[in-house]
Amino acid sequence: MLQRLYIRNYAIISELEVEWGSGLTIITGETGAGKSIVLGALSLVLGKRADSSVLHAQESKCIVEAEFNTDGFALQDFLQENDIDPEPLTTLRREITPQGKSRAFINDTPVLLPVLRDLAERLIDVHSQHEVHTLKEAGFRARFLDSCADGGSTYDAYSAIFREWDAMRKKAERLESEAAKSRAEEDYLRFQWQELEELNLHTGELTDVEQRLSMLENAEEIRTSLATVTAQMNDGEMALLDGLRQAKAEISRLARSYSKAEEWAQRINSAVIDLADLTDEMERGLQSIEDDPQELARLHERVDAIQRLLSKHRRQTDAELITFQQELASKLEGIERSDSELSSLREAFSVLENELNMKADALTEVRTDAAKGLGERLSEELHGLGMPDAQLSVSLEKKESVNALGRDGIQVLFSANKGQPMQDISKVASGGELSRLMLVIKAEMARNAQLPTVIFDEIDTGVSGEVAERMGLKIKELSGFMQVLCITHLPQIAAKGAQHLFVYKEGDGDRTVTRIRQLTGPDRVLEIAKMLSSDSPTEAAITHARQLVHQV
C-alpha cells in the first residue's frame, strides 16, 4: 500500500508530504483546490511523461517520491531482474529538472521510465475522471477480462510470446524486402563482378602498362636518342669517355707536384666509371627496344579495357577498381547469406507462430470461462447500486488473426431498463450509469489482480442521493481487502472513509499554493456538512453530517 507521498515544486504545490492510511482514504476540497494536481504529481512516479512545464518554480527541480509497503506482494523477481536492491519500503522517485530532463529511481537505483511504469502497474491502479471512455477501447476490455480470469497471468504468457513473434515477423518482412531488392539487382551485380574478374586487374598494373605502351609507341625516337648519346660517349674523336680518361691521366701526373690534384683525379675516375656503366645500360636498352606491333596492339587493348571500367564505375585508380570488385563480391556473398538467414528465420518463425497460436487458444479458453459468470455477477452488483433492471453480458468473438491483445474481440453489452435491447456499453450508458459500471468493473479487476492500492478520482460523477450512498458502501467494502483512495464531492461517500484528507489553497507570499490537512472529529463533520449544504452549513446539515459519519 501507499504509505507516504512527498511532492516538491509541482504545479501549484510548493512542498507537500502526505501520510496515507490503510482502508479507505477520502480526499475532498473545493473545485480547483488541487485534488487532481496531487494525483498528477503521483502519476509522475507511476511513469507518466512530463517536462519543465510542471515546475512550480522554474529555477528548481521537481521531486515526487512515493513509499509503498509491499509486504506480501512478490516483487523480488522484478527487483532482481532490474538489479534493484530490495528495501523494507519500496520507494519510487521522479525528478524533473528546469531543463526538462527526467530521472527515475527505484530504491535510489536509477531506472528507465518503462521499468518504473512496469513496477507502478503492480502497485497501484488509478481511475481518472475521464476513464469511463476507455470502456469502448479494446485494450481496456481485454485487461478487464484478463484480470477477472486469472489476474492476467495467461495474457502475460501470451504477450511475451507475441512480442517475440511480432519482432521476428518484422525482421522477416525487412529481410524479405531487402532480399527482393537484392535479387532484383543480383544479376547486374554479378555481371559487374564477372566483368572485373575477367579483367584480372592487379594493383599498379595500369601504370606499368602505360609506361610499356609509351615506350613501344615512341620506339624509333628512343632508339635514335640512345644511339646519339652512346655514340657521343664512345665513338669518334670527341668521345666523352675518352676525353675524361685523358683528363684523368693529365691530373694524375699533376698530382706529383700538386697534392690536391690527387683528389680531383679520383673524382674524375669515379665519374668515368659511372658514365661507363650508364653508357652500357643505354646500349643494352638500345638493343632491347624493338618494334612489336602485336605487343603494341595488346597493350592498347589492355589500357582501353582498364580505362573503360574506370570510367564506367567512376573510379580513379586501378586500386579503387579492385576495391570495388571486392565490394561487389561482398554484396553477392551477403545476398547468399541473407537467403540462408531468411530460410532459417522462416523455420523459426513457423515454430514460434505455432506456439503463439497455442497461447492464443489458451487465452481464449480462460477468457471464455471467465466471461460465463462475469456478466451475471456484475449485473447483481449493479442491482445493488440502484439499477434493479440492469443487465450486462461479456462475450467473445474469435478473430482470424492475432494481435497484441490475443485473437478475441471482447463485447460488453449493457441494458439499463426492462425491455431495452442490450447494446455495446459505450453506446447506451448515461453518465451516472457509466460511473456505476466503472465502479463495479474496477472493483472486480482490483480484487482479481490483487493490487495493493486503487485510486478513484470522482468515480461518483452523475450520481446522488441513495445511489451515492450505495456507491459509498461499495467503495467501503472494497477497502476491506485493499487500500482505496477516493476523491469525491459527495458527502455520502466522504463519510465512509477511515481517513479524511482536505485539500485547499492558500497564499504563500506572492504565490498561491496547495496544501492538505487531515480532518478528524468536528472538523470532519463540518466539512461533510458543507458538502451537504454550503460553506455556512445549517444545524440540520451538521446533524445530518454527524449521522453520516457515525453510521459507518
Q: What is the pLDDT of residues 466-509, one digit of tens each?
A: 888 888 888 898 888 889 999 988 999 999 999 999 998 888 77
Q: Please tell me the distance from the alpha carbon of residue 436 to that of residue 125, in angstroms, as a whole number.
A: 17
Distances (CA, A) of 292 to 206, 213, 216, 220, 306: 19, 11, 7, 12, 21
What is the rounded distance in angstroms from the CA atom of residue 395 to the CA atom of residue 429?
A: 18
Distance CA 389, CA 449 (A): 28
Question: Residue 386 — pLDDT band, cuts 50, 70, 90?
Answer: confident
Is 90 exceeded by the pLDDT of residue 361?
Answer: yes
Instruction: Round to whole Å and give the CA distance between 378 and 391.
Output: 8
| Lateral strand order in the sheet of 2-10 | 13-19, 2-10, 62-68, 90-96, 102-106, 109-111
**Segment holding 282, helix H or strand E:** helix 260-288
Q: Is 453 helix (H, G, I), strand (E, B) or coil?
A: strand
pLDDT of 345 over the 70 cut: yes
Q: What are the pLDDT digits (tens) for 325-339?
A: 998 888 888 777 777
Distance CA 57, CA 35 (A): 20
pTM of the model: 0.64
Residue 149: which of 357, 408, 372, 361 has the closest Cα? 372
**CA 416, CA 371: separation in Å to the nearest integer?**
19
For residue 542, which of 506, 478, 495 has the smallest C-alpha distance? Answer: 495
How is 411-449 classified by DSSP, letter by letter?
A: EEEEE-STTPPPEEHHHH--HHHHHHHHHHHHHHHHHHH
CA distances from 186 to 115, 181, 313, 315 (A): 45, 9, 17, 21
Neighbours of 100 (CB within 10 A): 12
pLDDT at 238: 66
* Mean pLDDT, the chain, whole residue set: 86
What domains can you pick out in the chain, each with its CATH number? 1-129+450-519 (3.40.50.300), 183-335 (no CATH)
For residue 356 the three cell numbers come to 503463439
Q: Using alpha carbons, select from 513, 478, 523, 420 the residue that is nearest to residue 127.
A: 478
Look-up: residue for cell 453518465?
431
User: Which cell goes with 525?
Assistant: 463533520
Q: Given this model, what pLDDT does residue 433 score?
A: 79
Can you tell me whether residue 399 is helix, strand or coil? strand
C-alpha grid cell for residue 33?
483546490
Cα separation, 179 vs 215, whole angstroms: 50
Q: What are the pLDDT digits (tens) for 416-471? A: 888 888 888 777 666 777 778 888 888 887 777 667 888 888 887 777 788 888 88
pLDDT score at 533: 84
User: Rounded to the nearest 5°, which phi and psi values hold at 534?
Assistant: -155, -175
Q: Which helix (H) or strand (E) holds 456?
A: strand 453-457
Q: Percent of the chain at pLDDT above 90? A: 21
Grid coordinates representing 364 are 481464449
pLDDT digits (tens, 9 = 90+) for 98-155: 888 889 999 999 999 999 988 888 888 887 655 656 777 888 888 888 888 888 889 9
Q: What is the pLDDT of residue 159?
A: 92
pLDDT given at position 400: 85
- According to DSSP, the β-strands at 499-508 and 24-28 are parallel
**Cα dihedral 21/26/29/31 (nearest 10):** 120
DSSP 145-168: HHHHHHTTHHHHHHHHHHHHHHHH
Least confident of 161-170, 281-290, 359-368, 479-488: 281-290
Task: Give the model's pLDDT for residue 79.
Answer: 87
pLDDT at 163 over 90: yes
Helix (H, G, I), strand (E, B) or coil at 212: helix
Q: Give the span between the Cα atoms of 121 and 115, in whole angstroms.
A: 10
Residue 140 pLDDT? 83
388-397, 430-439, 537-546 — which is least confidently predicted? 430-439
- 171-210 confidence digits (pLDDT tens): 888 888 877 777 777 778 888 889 899 888 888 888 888 8
pLDDT at 130: 59
